[in-house]
Amino acid sequence: MGSGGNAADLHDVDNRYSWAGCCNGDCSTLANLCQPNAAAAATCTAHADGGPTGCSVCGSGTCNVDVFAVGALTTVWDWLNGVNAASFAAHADWRLPSEGGHNSPATGTNELETILNCGFGSPCIDPIFGPTASGFYWSASTSTTGPGNAWLVNFFNGDAPDGVKVTSIDVRAVR
């Protein structure tokens, strides 16, 4: 976790989250990718773009959401449930950006690319979220390179690479 992270604050810019964890810390197979609870699993299944790999709960044992021990607090799907339960900014329909999604108003291009640039080289982050870290943010989209990866939005240099779903990364929601 980055310096100054606050687990009690769902909106702390220094908090990090994984897209999925690993059952009992064992990431040796894709079948072991998991969510920490049934609610996170249901949200992941309903909103993951590109397949549900990593959207199940463990058959036995626990889901380790911080397999690299670098400060991931929970999964992005569990975080998203918390943001919506709190009706952040008087809304309960927050979601992760995705390749299949469209910003409002829809531009006809993929959402991840439109988030990266509002026409002036600045990230399209609603000011209600406060500061934005310069780096990677999770999307809801599974990467085309493999089901163990998801697309990222990079607010440092404007690209959209992919990352391993069990990595600890920033998260921002869209509506």
- For every one of its 175 residues, what pLDDT tens digit does the chain have, with 9 covering 90 and above? 344 567 778 877 789 999 999 999 999 999 999 999 999 999 999 999 998 999 999 999 999 999 999 999 999 999 999 999 999 889 999 889 887 654 444 444 566 655 555 545 555 555 666 677 777 889 999 999 999 999 998 777 667 789 999 999 999 887 7
Residues 6+ apart with CB under 8 A from 154: 116, 135, 136, 137, 160, 161
Give the tokens for residue 118: 């509002």
Q: Is beta strand 72-75 parallel, antiparallel or unpaired with respect to 16-18? A: parallel
pLDDT of residue 133: 74
Q: Are 110 and 104 in contact (CB under 8 A)?
A: no
pLDDT of residue 104: 47
Q: What is the DSSP letter of 143?
A: P
Domain boundaries defined on the chain = 16-164
pLDDT of residue 129: 60
pLDDT of residue 1: 36
